[in-house]
Amino acid sequence: TVVDFNSNTSPATNEGNTFNLNNPKARYLRVNMNYNSANQGVHIIEFEAYGQVSSPVDPQVTIEASDASASENPLDTGTFTVSLDAVNNNSGPLTVNYTIGGTASSGSDYNPLSGTVIIPVGQQTGFITVTPVNDLEIEPIETVALTLSSGSGYTIGSPSTATVNIVSDDDLPPSGNIALNKPTTSSSGTEAASSNAVDGIYSIDNWWGASPFPQWWSVDLGDEYDLSKLVVFNYYDGIRYYQYDIQGSLNGTNWTTLVDFNTNTTPATSEGNTFNLGNPSARYIRVNMNYNSVNTGVHIIEFEAYGTLTQNLGKNFPNQTNSPEKRLDETSKKFSLSVYPNPSKYGNPIKLALQLPKDESVSVEIFDINGKMVTNKEFELQKGFNEVEMPTNYFSAGMLIVKVDIQGEIITKKIFLE
């Protein structure tokens, strides 16, 4: 109530009644006509109001996750909606600031966000899209959490924070023997089938065998794995011993020695021989059976392999860590990328090896673990193998994300800078 005239007893005149106010703020005015001393009708000939336009009140801004779930493959984006409590009637667009948190890493788990959202004139909402990066890492559900922060032309309401979940499509790493029931081949299988060595049967009369030595036996794991352990069960009788070596390959053509057992003179037993490895990457494993101390036949009762799916395709074998020559399977991937050495030393360049099916323009960006881009560079690369370098003498030590954009095809790798 800005005026109370309910106790008036003075007759109305052509001059009307004037009420001076102390500048209350209002947009709408209402006159409650409560009494007429002559009859039951109430009448207003004219109503006047005077004042100045009030200083505008800053709108209140809130945020919500209007699409709170995103996924890597198939690609499904998540969305934050930033809303005002009134339409933006300013002379220009309103910029709303926000900070970024959560367990997901900007640049490697999702495309970097700007930290601001624009609400145009005449609009009441703005949108922030979270676009996941389809990496090859085995990850749990990760989060992107945004919190509104102060800025010019608005106040912060509630809710002021919201979260989008990113779901990885990558399967959990297999547990147990990853060679079990996988496809096998051998140099000769006239005595027993090569598949006997991965059928899970450890009976002494169930083996793959061939004669005369040397012979080889191979298994295709189906995917690239970081190998932690291999176990070989040979035919055993308490007397005979075998000598062999084990090789690994990413493409079935270029092989690297993983185990050298060619000097062994210890008889085979029912426990087999276990070889712990330093996580070399391989899809194909080959056992070269070179010697049997009793006769010319060589035998494998069972072969076991253990490891996890390779997270960085094209990872090096131990004796290739700093080599720029990459043995890449051009038919298995459209593009192939290796980043090395990993970890890298501060001040030394990070090297990138790319295998391309044709000449391409390539953009390389490097982000810190908080999603801040620390450097970027453009390259014109040729079909086939390419090696480029990114300097590190102005980086900070820690985890870095290397993002390579090849005509819209995105590949990311993580590398640690010591």
Question: Considering the domain 60-167, what is its CATH architecture?
Answer: Sandwich (2.60)
User: What per-residue confidence (pLDDT) applies to 278?
Assistant: 84
Distance (Å, rounded) from C-alpha 317 to C-alpha 47? Answer: 90
Q: What is the distance of C-alpha 170 from the center of its chain?
A: 10
- pLDDT the model gives residue 375: 83
pLDDT at 113 over 80: yes
Split at pLDDT 50, 70, 90, the class of 191 is: low
Residue in this structure with the two tokens 């409650």, named with its chain if needed = 32
Of 153 and 170, which is predicted with more confidence? 153
- Mean pLDDT, the chain, whole residue set: 84
User: Is there a common fold for 60-167 and 184-309?
Assistant: no
Unique residue bearing structure tokens 């192939």: 336
pLDDT of residue 185: 92
Q: Specify the amino acid at residue 89.
A: N
Q: Residue 220: name the closest of 298, 146, 154, 303 by CA.
A: 303
pLDDT in tens, 393-416: 777 777 777 788 887 777 777 777
CATH topology for the 326-417 domain: Immunoglobulin-like (2.60.40)
Buried b (16+ CB within 10 A) or exposed e, 143-161: ebbbbbeebebbebeeeeb
Work out the percent of the chain whose per-residue pLDDT is above 90.
Answer: 46
* Banded model confidence at residue 326, pLDDT cuts 50, 70, 90: very low
Taking the C-alpha atoms of residue 188 and residue 205, their distance in angstroms, rounded to an integer, is 18
For residue 147, give every residue at least 6 positions away whose Cβ sits within 8 Å of its Cβ, in sequence order, or none: 63, 98, 99, 101, 160, 161
Look at 198 and 398; give whichever has higher pLDDT. 198
What are the pLDDT digits (tens) for 52-102? 877 667 899 999 998 888 887 777 888 999 999 988 888 889 999 999 998
- Of residues 332 and 246, more confidently modeled: 246
> What are the sequence ranges of the domains in the chain?
60-167, 184-309, 326-417
CA atoms within 13 A on the CB side of 237: 9
What is the predicted pLDDT for the residue at 139? 63
Dump pLDDT digits (tens) for 204-245. 889 999 989 999 999 999 888 889 899 999 999 899 999 999
Instruction: Determine the pLDDT at residue 330.
Output: 33
User: Between residues 387 and 290, which one has the greater pLDDT?
Assistant: 290
What is the separation of C-alpha 167 from the centre of its chain, rounded to a whole number of angstroms?
9
Q: Is residue 189's pLDDT more than 70?
A: no
pLDDT band at residue 374 using 50, 70 and 90 as cut-offs: confident
Name the fold adopted by 184-309.
Jelly Rolls (2.60.120)
pLDDT of residue 52: 83
